[in-house]
């Protein structure tokens, strides 16, 4: 099934309807999240196309460069990295400094937060800032800023060579 592109007045009607209930940043976040969490995982081509078109309504006009929001995003990333680092250090140091009834619940909490699929509130805030700046959302902090760069360092992409000459 082929979906016809929206006409200009249809696009404006949809955007106006969204703007009645959400501000522009919330609508951009909602459409990006719908497309990422549902559209990329569904096997229904019609739904996938509809969600892509809906996301495109708010990604056509990316917001102007906002220095304050960029500063907030980089500050949040730095703070998040420090929280992760402190948790890693605490996980290995607490058992030697405190009795078991103190460090066991803390280490259990650190493990459960680290290895569940639920997004951390700081990651949610980062995704909100990223979509308001027109940047793509991330799936998880550790995967985006730690695992992926290490993986790219270990196995760099190979460029195909032309040996025709």
112-132 residue pLDDT tens: 877 777 778 888 899 989 988
Q: What percent of the chain has pLDDT over 70?
A: 84
List the domain range (segments joined by +) for residue 25. 8-59
Q: What percent of the chain has pLDDT over 90?
A: 15
Residues 22 and 76 in one domain: no
- Distance (Å, rounded) from C-alpha 11 to C-alpha 5? 10
Residues 45 and 117 in one domain: no
**pLDDT confidence of residue 2:** 46
- The pLDDT confidence band at residue 159, using thresholds 50, 70 and 90, is low
In a domain? residue 126: yes
In a domain? residue 139: yes
Pair 110, 91: CB distance under 8 Å: yes
**pLDDT confidence of residue 16:** 73
In a domain? residue 53: yes
- Distance (Å, rounded) from C-alpha 95 to C-alpha 106? 10
Going from the C-alpha of 4 to that of each of 7, 49, 50, 75, 103, the distances in angstroms are: 9, 10, 10, 43, 59
Residues 54 and 73 in one domain: no
In a domain? residue 162: no
Count of structural domains within the chain: 2
In a domain? residue 160: no
More confident residue, 152 or 76: 76
pTM (two decimals): 0.60
In a domain? residue 80: yes
């Amino acid at each position: 099934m082929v979906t016809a592109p929206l006409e200009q007045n249809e696009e404006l009607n949809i955007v106006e309807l969204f703007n009645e209930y959400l501000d522009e940043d919330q609508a951009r976040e909602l459409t990006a999240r719908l497309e990422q969490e549902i559209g990329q995982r569904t096997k229904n081509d019609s739904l996938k196309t509809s969600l892509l078109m809906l996301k495109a309504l708010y990604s056509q006009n990316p917001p102007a460069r906002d220095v304050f929001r960029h500063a907030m995003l980089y500050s949040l990333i730095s703070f998040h990295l420090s929280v992760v680092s402190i948790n890693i250090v605490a996980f290995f140091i607490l058992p030697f400094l405190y009795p078991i009834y103190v460090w066991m619940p803390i280490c259990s909490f650190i493990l459960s937060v680290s290895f569940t699929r639920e997004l951390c509130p700081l990651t949610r805030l980062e995704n909100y800032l990223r979509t308001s700046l027109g940047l793509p959302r991330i799936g998880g902090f550790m995967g985006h800023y730690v695992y992926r760069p290490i993986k790219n360092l270990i196995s760099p992409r190979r460029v195909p060579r032309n040996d025709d000459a």
